[in-house]
């Protein structure tokens, strides 16, 4: 299976999570490439069975959460019609209900969000392996139906 992991990171936490996700996916036997959303390898993206896209949680502590750098994501991410996508976000303290907003952003780009995960930056790699397993399983189930 070919997997592309894309991330938009401001402080390096989401990039670090993307690299961990890529390593976890490689451990399953997948062929993986990891890129910033501003440096997408379109050849790899075109061959991917699964795309994993991450950003960070922006906003105020208990309200106003939003996908970090949503403008960059809207500008840089291509339309990916019918491509299974696993969405992940890193956060510092509290993420609120931001994943719903993030999933909608990706769906507006034609992406089929098959798995999501909120990853607390100071607890990485906690949650990474389970997220990768769920995403790969979702793609397998999708291809058999």
pLDDT of residue 55: 97
Distance CA 94, CA 23 (A): 26
pLDDT of residue 63: 61
pLDDT in tens, 72-126: 999 999 999 888 999 999 998 888 889 999 999 999 999 999 999 999 999 999 9
Distance CA 53, CA 56 (A): 11
pLDDT of residue 79: 94
Q: Which of 121, 89, 119, 83 is nearest to 103 (CA)?
A: 89
Residue 143, pLDDT > 70, answer no
pLDDT of residue 82: 80
Burial class (CB in 10 A: 0-12, 13-18, 19+), 87: buried
pLDDT in tens, 27-86: 999 999 999 999 999 999 999 999 999 999 987 665 678 898 899 999 999 999 888 999
pLDDT of residue 50: 97
Q: What share of the chain is helix, strand, coil (3-state, %, to 5)?
A: 45, 30, 30
Residue 13, pLDDT > 60, answer yes
pLDDT of residue 59: 78
pLDDT of residue 36: 97
What is residue 27's DSSP assignment?
H
Distance CA 137, CA 40 (A): 24
């Amino acid at each position: 299976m070919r997997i592309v992991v894309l991330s938009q990171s401001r402080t390096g936490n989401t990039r670090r999570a993307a690299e961990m996700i890529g390593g976890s996916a490689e451990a399953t036997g997948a062929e993986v490439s990891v890129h910033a959303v501003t440096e997408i390898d379109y050849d790899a993206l075109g061959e991917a069975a699964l795309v994993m896209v991450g950003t960070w949680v922006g906003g105020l502590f208990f309200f106003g959460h939003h996908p970090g750098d949503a403008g960059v994501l809207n500008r840089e991410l291509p339309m990916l019609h019918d491509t299974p996508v696993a969405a992940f976000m890193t956060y510092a303290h509290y993420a609120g209900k931001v994943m719903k907003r993030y999933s909608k952003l990706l769906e507006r780009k034609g992406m089929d969000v098959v798995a999501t995960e909120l990853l607390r930056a100071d607890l990485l790699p906690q949650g990474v392996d389970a997220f990768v397993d769920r995403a790969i399983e979702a793609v397998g189930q999708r291809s058999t139906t």
